[in-house]
Amino acid sequence: MIAAAYLVSYFLSVLANSVAAIALPLVILTTTGSVLGAGTVAAATAVPALLAGLLMGVVIDRTNRRSISIFTDVVSAVAVAALPFLDLFTDLTIGIFVVFGVIGALGDIPGQTARETLLPAVVRHTALTPERLIGTRESLGAIALVLGPGLAGVLIALLDGTDVLWFTAALSLAAAAVTTVIPRHLGTHGPSPDRPASGWKALREGWTTVVNSPFIRLVMIIAFGASVVLGAFQGLIFPAYFTATGQDALLGLVLSALAVGLLVGSGIYALLSRPGRGRRGWLSAGLIGATAGFAIMASLVSVPVMIAGAFVGGIACGLFTSLVGVLTLERIPDQVRGRVLGTQNALMTLAPSTGVMISAVVTELAGLGTAAIVAAGVWAAMTLVALTAAPLKDLSPRLAPPSQ
């Protein structure tokens, strides 16, 4: 029951974000008629989301993590539901979208972090192995990413104006409700005898843990790099290619192939991995497979070839992210887990835009094909580093070290 509640709440939360990512920009465009306005809302919410991810880790490490998870989902639900509610009484402006976008952003990354910090307690109170639980979680996340855009499109076609946002808010509220099934005591954590007195010292302790752990540093760099490369392909290279070739309608097929690949890869890991066994093999398969997938995508030969590359890359990324989830579960000290994961999740918000920006500059200077090759080359270089780096040579199960 505990594991089921955790997985269902995770799925509902990711699905809510996946639907909102498509629906909200369209609602802003149809309501205000301003493309610049949609960009303004996205830019205005980016910084608060980053700061919330960096700073809320201290709160997560000092309070009940289950309670924070519930609270942040409720905040997200209220922020989204406020828009169609206000639309009943007044015309929505860009300022209103920005205000409630910022409020929602303050709940998104802390909520994701709080749910991730609950994982060790869930593992201890379920018969599932960490490999099975994390692989299943990643599979459900991939399903949500596949369903979200299609569901958003159907809802926008069926509902008027901002009414689609009631559904998104309901998903976040449902995630909060399901989390209440998890016993409250699983969200507690024993006090550290040397717990810093101030929030600033607590925040610094979390960053010190990252700096002093070669494993955590390397995993964060690789995860950031993967998101940069994916952001480059999804946010600029693919859209530019399909626009230039007049095949805009086929863009969704490539992105869907990537998401389905993630589902297949994480599903394979959940079903076939064994506790503590074959981890170097899973790591190699994930990294090398992703390199092959990105290389195929970067060829820009034809749509079928790019779909195949996206599917292969998705499978490999599903294997890799599932393994990394298990490794970080073991190696991040529980008393600083919120701060470490909060920092990682905050940095990950910058990755897609970084990938888009870099690929845009390369495209402008040397062409789209070169940008695609550079993106694939960056991942190939990271694969080489990861496979030869000392922190990833010994992947045997171990207890997380005490925080510094």
Q: Identify whether 211 is part of a domain.
A: yes
Mean residue pLDDT across the chain: 85
Domain boundary among 161, 189, 217: 189
231 and 312 part of one domain? yes
Long-range contacts of 229-232 (CB under 8 A, 24+ apart): 229/294, 229/355, 229/375, 229/376, 229/378, 229/379, 230/258, 230/317, 230/352, 230/355, 231/351, 231/352, 231/353, 231/354, 231/355, 231/356, 232/355, 232/356, 232/358, 232/359, 232/371, 232/375
Evaluate whether 326 touches 293 at the Cβ level (below 8 Å).
no
pTM passes above 0.85: no
Look at 79 and 39; give whichever has higher pLDDT: 79
Encode pLDDT of 207-224 as tens digits.
Answer: 787 778 888 888 888 888
In this prediction, residue 404 has a pLDDT band, given cuts at 50, 70 and 90, of very low
- Domain CATH number, residue 21: 1.20.1250.20
Encode pLDDT of 381-397 as tens digits.
Answer: 999 999 999 888 888 87
Asked whether residue 160 carries a pLDDT value surpassing 80, the answer given is no
94 and 239 part of one domain? no
Which pLDDT value is given to residue 36? 67
Encode pLDDT of 10-19 as tens digits.
Answer: 999 999 988 8
For residues 289 and 320, what is the distance between their CA atoms, to the nearest angstrom?
9
Number of domains present in the structure of the chain: 2
Evaluate whether 2 touches 122 at the Cβ level (below 8 Å).
yes
Which pLDDT value is given to residue 193? 44
Query: Which of 325, 313, 224, 323 minimizes the C-alpha distance to 260?
Result: 313
Evaluate whether 12 touches 175 at the Cβ level (below 8 Å).
yes
Encode pLDDT of 181-201 as tens digits.
Answer: 998 888 886 555 445 456 677
Q: Which residues partner with 277 through β-bridges?
A: 274
Which pLDDT value is given to residue 199? 64
39 and 104 part of one domain? yes
Domain span at residue 239 reads 206-392
Encode pLDDT of 338-372 as tens digits.
Answer: 888 888 888 888 888 888 888 888 998 999 999 99
Encode pLDDT of 274-325 as tens digits.
Answer: 887 888 999 999 999 999 999 999 999 999 999 999 999 999 999 989 998 8
Beta-carbon count within 10 A of 271 CB:
12
